[in-house]
Amino acid sequence: MRALWLSFAVLLVTAVAQAVVVAFSGSVALLGDTLHNLADALTAVPLAIAFLLGRRAATRRFTYGLGRAEDLAGLLILAVIAASAGLAAWQAIDRLLDPRELTNVGWVAAAGLIGFAGNEVVARYRIGVGRRIGSAALVADGLHARTDGFTSLAVLLSAGGAALGWHWADPVVGLVITVAILSVLWGAAGEVLARLLDAVDPELVGRAEHALAETPGVRAVGRLRLRWVGHSLTADAEVEVDPELSLARAHHIAHDAEHRLIHAVPRLGEAVIHAHPVGGHGH
């Protein structure tokens, strides 16, 4: 939560500073960058709500808790990014059809540098915290901010073109920034939709299978499923054991397998292990 609110404050200050320059320069390239930075700042709001909901205990209605609210926040973030791309494109096309002189070129260039600096600070902070707590959404948001920083540098091309008398440079750079926003949208959509469909890194599945197979008493590993709930993983696995074992011994092996699994797979918060006799799977 601290990472969200601090990065929100930095990006909001950055966007406001750029908006002031947009008001007296008329740069649509800078407007596109400002809208993108503002959208970045606002993504902290749905993520914060999702993090708060994820802290709530499970109930008889929501037996897994509300950790999946983070995935819904991801969908809202995609909508905000798409809206900022659409508005930036509309402004750039309007300026191409109705050219206007870009003024205060030096301030436009300075605003582009401010945008780059603000985004890079936020990117480093969000990525670091996201990796530490295991939040894919926060890491993705940090990578998004880093990409935005480089689109802010594109504003310098707009200012340089205006200084040379190329009135078309500003709206063209605005369209380039729009394409960059759409590129980020495409990548972010892949991450968010994959999480909604319960996708996990295949390497984690391999680690889990190895940990279960190496557990003393486990003859074979059957079905194994992993899924994200918020920024923690849950696992559901079946292992085969000697059919001559007592119920107590089979339970001990399953408990040992659970312990090994939780230590082998990063961010795994809960595991349910089902022990079946060899040859008796599914009976």
Domain coordinates of the chain in residue numbers? Answer: 2-196, 202-277
Q: What is the pLDDT of residue 86?
A: 82
Instruction: Check residue 100 and give its pLDDT.
Output: 61
State the sign of the Cα–Cα–Cα–Cα dihedral 145, 150, 154, 155.
positive
Tell me the C-alpha distance between 15 and 33, whole Å: 8
Q: Are 190 and 143 in contact (CB under 8 A)?
A: no
pLDDT at 164: 67
| In this structure, CATH architecture of domain 202-277 | 2-Layer Sandwich (3.30)
**Residue-level pLDDT at 136:** 67
Could you tell me the mean pLDDT of each successive run of 10 residues in the chain, 283 residues long?
A: 84 84 73 75 82 86 86 82 78 70 70 83 86 75 75 70 68 77 82 86 92 93 90 90 92 94 89 86 47
What secondary structure does DSSP assign to the chain, as a single string? -HHHHHHHHHHHHHHHHHHHHHHHH--HHHHHHHHHHHHHHHTHHHHHHHHHHHTSPP-SSSTT-STTHHHHHHHHHHHHHHHHHHHHHHHHHHHHHS------HHHHHHHHHHHHHHHHHHHHHHHHHHHHHT-HHHHHHHHHHHHHHHHHHHHHHHHHHHHTT-TTHHHHHHHHHHHHHHHHHHHHHHHHHHHHTT---HHHHHHHHHHHHTSTT--EEEEEEEEEETTEEEEEEEEEE-TTS-HHHHHHHHHHHHHHHHHHSTTEEEEEEEEEETT-TT-
Which residue bears the tokens 């609110």? 5
Out of 3.10.129.10, 1.20.1510.10, 1.10.10.10, 1.10.150.130, the CATH code matching 2-196 is 1.20.1510.10
The predicted pLDDT at position 207 comes to 93
Domain 2-196 and domain 202-277 have a common topology = no
Q: Please give the Cα distance from 167 to 163 (Å, whole number).
A: 9
Q: What pLDDT shows up at residue 229? A: 85
* pTM assigned to the model: 0.72
Provide the 10 A C-beta neighbour count for residue 133.
14
